[in-house]
């Protein structure tokens, strides 16, 4: 889950091949990797909830805007309702 195999076919043919990219490598751009165990260990689905709560609490403490917003949630719900209606009617549903 934390290792990406990348093949760049734009490289000269004598240099082409798969490159391993360890996505939990220290110093990477991911903002949460330093908050957990050493690189190479799996972060699971449940960890996203820990970070969501952490982001929310920190935003409340600092007065920063919270993402996603209520409007984001409302728009997502509109899409989900349209998906259900479309599946039931087997027709495209316009999202309002």
Verify that 52 and 79 share a domain, yes or no.
Answer: no
Q: How far apart are CA 43 and CA 2, in angstroms?
A: 8
Q: Domain range for residue 75?
A: 67-96
The number of angstroms, rounded, from the C-alpha of 57 to the middle of its chain's C-alpha atoms is 19
Per-residue pLDDT of the chain (96 residues; tens, 9 = 90+): 678 888 988 888 888 999 888 776 555 556 776 777 676 677 778 887 888 888 889 899 999 998 888 999 999 999 999 999 999 999 999 998
Whole-prediction pTM: 0.48
Q: What is the pLDDT of residue 28?
A: 54
Verify that 33 and 72 share a domain, yes or no.
Answer: no
Q: How far apart are CA 60 and CA 66, in angstroms?
A: 8
Verify that 14 and 32 share a domain, yes or no.
Answer: yes
Q: Which of 66, 63, 92, 95 is nearest to 79 (CA)?
A: 95
Q: Which of 45, 8, 2, 50 is nearest to 26 (CA)?
A: 2
């Amino acid at each position: 889950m934390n290792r990406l195999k990348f093949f760049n076919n734009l490289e000269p043919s004598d240099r082409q091949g798969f490159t391993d990219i360890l996505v939990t490598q220290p110093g990477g751009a991911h903002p949460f990797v330093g908050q957990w165990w050493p690189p190479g260990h799996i972060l699971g689905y449940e960890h996203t909830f820990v970070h969501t709560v952490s982001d929310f609490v920190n935003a409340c403490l600092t007065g920063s805007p919270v993402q996603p917003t209520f409007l984001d949630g409302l728009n997502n719900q509109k899409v989900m309702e349209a998906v259900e209606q479309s599946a039931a009617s087997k027709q495209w549903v316009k999202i309002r």
